[in-house]
């Protein structure tokens, strides 16, 4: 437990430019306080002998009252985890958080349904979850993944990915070094798809005008000197379908 607390201190010093020293972190960082209390309550929870589980829940509720961070004592949290600011963070009973993960305020690692067993997310090593993001269900978020602020993630995410939107959509960025604090510097997938749709509308309107002109030429009995067939839009269609989470099924 002590090693985990030391690692939590070290990661705050490394990642938060506002941290001016150990004493300030010990006194002024509610995310750190919540993790320390959770590590104590998790130890009590693991004893499984009455009244230890109840005491663990009471301690976790005390932590919620003091810090605004609600962590079920059954959740498993690795070393070097940083909950930045932390207010409104909720972490469910069967959630698993790997080493060096970063969670911002308002994050929810929640369950779905009433089934017993694993029903909360697993975050592998070095995952960043942006402010207000919701990760729901017994899913796995791969190593080095970033989840954008306000996203809602409902499906497994492969390593080295970026997730944005509602529901969360994956944009792979394998091999690119990412600043873990830059959780707002994410690709605007919605804007790109809307731009592609607008370009497609322009192309279709142009093809319609060309087709009408061809029909007028044919009706007048004049020969056609240019094709009435437009260029393929397979690439645009593929990008739009990938954004919607569907298999393109398009051949070039």
> Which residue has better confidence, 182 or 109?
109
**Segment (H or E) for 205:** helix 189-219
Q: What is the pTM of this model?
A: 0.69
Q: What is the pLDDT of residues 112-141, one digit of tens each?
A: 877 778 899 999 999 999 999 999 999 999
Cβ of 82: how many Cβ atoms within 10 Å?
Answer: 26
Q: How many helices (H) and strands (E) does the chain have?
A: 6, 15
- How does strand 169-172 pair with strand 82-83? unpaired
Both tokens assigned to 118? 């694993």
Determine the Cα–Cα distance for residues 45 and 53; give it in Å rounded to an integer: 5
pLDDT tens digits, residue range 10-69? 888 888 888 888 898 899 999 999 999 999 999 999 888 888 989 999 999 999 999 999
| pLDDT top residue among 168 and 100 | 100
Residue 195's pLDDT is 76
User: Could you give the CA distance from residue 141 to residue 153 in angstroms, rounded to a whole number?
Assistant: 9
pLDDT value of residue 16: 83
Predicted confidence at residue 238, as pLDDT, reads 62
The Cα–Cα gap between 3 and 10 comes to: 11
Residue 72's pLDDT band (boundaries 50, 70, 90)? very high
């Amino acid at each position: 437990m002590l090693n985990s607390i030391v690692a939590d201190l070290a990661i705050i010093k490394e990642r938060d430019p506002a941290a001016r020293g150990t004493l300030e972190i010990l006194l002024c960082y509610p995310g750190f306080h919540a993790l320390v209390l959770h590590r104590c309550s998790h130890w009590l929870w693991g004893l499984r002998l009455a009244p230890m589980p109840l005491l663990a829940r009471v301690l976790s509720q005390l932590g919620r009252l003091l810090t605004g961070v609600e962590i079920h004592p059954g959740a498993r949290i690795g070393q070097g985890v940083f909950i930045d600011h932390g207010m409104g963070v909720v972490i469910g009973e069967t959630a698993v958080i790997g080493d060096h993960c970063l969670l911002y305020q308002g994050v929810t690692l929640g369950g779905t349904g009433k089934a017993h067993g694993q029903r909360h997310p697993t975050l592998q090593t070095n995952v960043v979850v942006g402010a207000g993001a919701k990760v729901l269900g017994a899913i796995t978020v791969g190593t080095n993944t970033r989840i954008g602020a306000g996203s809602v993630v409902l499906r497994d995410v492969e390593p080295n990915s970026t997730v944005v939107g509602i529901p969360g959509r994956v944009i792979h960025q394998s091999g690119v070094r990412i600043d873990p604090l830059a959780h707002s510097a994410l690709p605007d997938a919605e804007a790109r798809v809307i731009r592609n749709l607008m370009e497609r509308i322009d192309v279709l309107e142009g093809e319609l005008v060309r087709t009408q002109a061809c029909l007028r030429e044919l009706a007048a009995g004049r020969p056609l000197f240019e094709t009435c067939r437009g260029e393929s839009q397979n690439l645009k269609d593929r990008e739009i379908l990938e954004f919607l989470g569907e298999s393109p099924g398009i051949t070039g």
